[in-house]
Structure 1
Amino acid sequence: LRSVMSAWSNYPSSWNSGDPCGAPWDGIMCNGNGRVTSLRLSSVNMQGTLSDSIGQLGQLMFLDLSFNSGLSGTIPASIGNLAQLTTLILAGCSFSGDIPKEIGNLLQMTFLALNSNKLTGTIPPQLGLLSKLFWLDLADNAITGTVPISTGTTPGLDLLTNTKHL
């Protein structure tokens, strides 16, 4: 977590204490083993980039950095290492570049909001692998292409029966 934090400024003042799971840090939740499971940091005016180190938070299930317009740069491919992640909310930031295809590795993902950024490129077909997805919002970016649909050999988001926002 500290190496992720080193790429940010304006994070909550409680983050100056030693252990994020000992003396609780604002916006951080941990499991009983002292592993970070949730980062809920919407609208706290953070600035910086999302470090490749985010992929080392192997127990992370919930990541919300939304509406921190000072967060910019690309979304790192290492985000695809977060195998437990169910919720990813990066809406209203200033992320740019392509949506990393590695997001397709996040097979537990139910909620994905990347809207209102500066993302470009095409919608990666790997998003079709997210069979548990309930919410998808990619609006207000400069991305092109279509939402992945099924073929005889590849899954697509058209097969999802519980999706509420495509």
Structure 2
Amino acid sequence: MQGGLEFKTEIELLSRVHHKNLVSLMGFCFEKGEQILVYEYVSNGSLKDSLSGKSGIRLDWMRRLRVALGAASGLAYLHEFANPPIIHRDIKSNNILLDESLNAKVSDFGLSKPIVDSEGSYVITQVKGTMGYMDPEYYMTHKLTEKSDVYSFGVLMLELLTARKPIEHGKYIVREVQETMDQTKDLYNLHEFLDPAIGLGTTLKGLQKFVDLAMWCVKESGSDRPMMVEVVKEIENIMELVGVNLDANSTSISASYEETSKGNSPYPGYPYS
């Protein structure tokens, strides 16, 4: 029902991007008004289903780190290797799919936008996306940049930690964590927010660094946020700290990218105040 634009966008983008952490487009049909997209089958559904308990899959701390790394790698590929660079514009747990090995695949490119502007850094566009995940700077200025995806990814990281929706009972998870976290206390004083299924009661190595990275991603100003390639590197560092043996492909992710390439909101009408 969304019409031909999203349909065409998805076909054009997915026909020219290929990465193990992006869902693959197998084919499409556009006959007699039928708009059909055929994707690879991703057997374990969405990350949202797993975090909510709907899928029956238990995501412990290690698995969540792997999901975060996979999703970050797919996004970094879009930002760094696509020509022109592609901004996803709708990163959320519903759009991260898990395959039979629980590898993350970024999906749903209907709102994605290539950056073809002469500056090569942003595009002025109508605000689209999902409230709760949406970059407030983009919301206010209509300037869409790669850092808008970084903000959404930061919210996704908090969702991985808490299994809560970004906005629940009128409360915004970013604000809640900002106001509660205390770096001098165990687990940054976030016990009440953490999803019990993550493995509370066990040693959650690297959790504080993961929180720090998430809060870096959701900085008010896009210029203060990391690039997705930096996010990938930071998550890899956390996984090494935890003792995860990254396979040859994983350990080369950030290296290959390197070779290629606060306070109250200053915005009136800030969407999550």
**Whose Rg is larger?**
2
Greater helix proportion: 2
Q: TM-score, normalised by structure 2?
A: 0.21
Greater strand proportion: 1
Q: TM-score, normalised by structure 1?
A: 0.31
Structure ranking higher on relative contact order (CA contacts 8 Å, 6+ apart): 2
